[in-house]
Structure formats: structure tokens, C-alpha cells
Amino acid sequence: MTRGFVHGDAFPDNTLFHHNKLIGIIDFEEACTDFCLFDIGITINGFCIFDNRLDYQLLHTFLSGYETIRHITENEFDILKYYIHWGAHAMIYWHMRNNLLYRENPAQVDRIHELIERIKSFKLNDQEIDNSIECYKNNKNKGNHGTQR
């Protein structure tokens, strides 16, 4: 698997947009060298979730855009869903480490419960996630980058 520089915390609060175009990424305190799939999983959790569920159209759009910069290998696609899960787990850890160690924070406790529910949803919908990733790959291989649910 490809390793490289990862931001480790890519979500809307750490990105700057102007006229719907990404113009900057901020907050590099979690940056490190890791598997690129880790950053993909974190970013999917940050940008491809609607009502705490994975939005497959957003997922396909993100993957298509990502692949204009770096190709995702077949082996990476095979384990992508696990990194989507891991991204939510990493977010739980971040919220616990940064917001709950030394003081009670009800908003952060609620966020952790929301992320736990997201992970449960991912697990319940594993086959659907696999099918969506397979659909994306099939469309890509046909030269059709359209998104399907």
C-alpha cells in the first residue's frame, strides 16, 4: 500500500473554499507519514457523510477527484471500507483525547455517540459499501465517472 504525507484531520473546518473550489488546507497538527488510505478514510468521514450515513454519490465524487491526483490501487480498493471505518474510530479517539481527558464536555460526548452510531451503520451496511465501491470502479473502468447510488 502507498505510504506518504497525510493530513490526518481533513474535514470541513480544516479546509478553505472560495466559490466551491478548495484553496487551502489548514491545521496540520495531526500530519504524519502513514498509509494514504488513512487520509482517504478520514476525508470520507469528513466530507461524504450526510445525516450520519455514508452518501455514495459524495463518495464517488470524492474518489473521482482524488484519482485525478493519485491512482487508488486495486488492493487499496479491496480494503477501502475498513479505512472508512477506521476514519470514524480515529475521530472518536481525537475527540476523547482532545476534549474529554481533563474535563466533561457534553457536546463532545454527543459527538462520540454519533460516531459510534456511524460505525454501527457502516458495519450493518458493509455489503452496500462494497457494492458502491465496486460500482465506482466499474464506472471508472468504463470511462464513466458518473455517480450512481
Amino acid at 89: H
Q: Which three cell numbers stand for residue 98?
A: 482532545
Q: Which three cell numbers stand for residue 61?
A: 465524487
Q: Which three cell numbers stand for residue 71?
A: 491512482
Q: Write down the domain spans for the chain.
A: 3-141
Q: pLDDT band at 104, cuts 50/70/90?
A: confident
The size of the chain, in residues, is 149
Distances (CA, A) of 102 to 87, 110, 140: 24, 17, 47
Q: Mean pLDDT throughout 125-143?
A: 94
pTM of the model: 0.90
Q: pLDDT band at 145, cuts 50/70/90?
A: low
Burial string for 126-146 (b: 16+ CB within 10 Å, else e) reads eeebeebbebbeebbeeeeee
Write out pLDDT tens, residues 36-65: 999 999 999 999 999 999 999 999 999 999
> Yes or no: is domain 3-141 CATH 3.90.1200.10?
yes
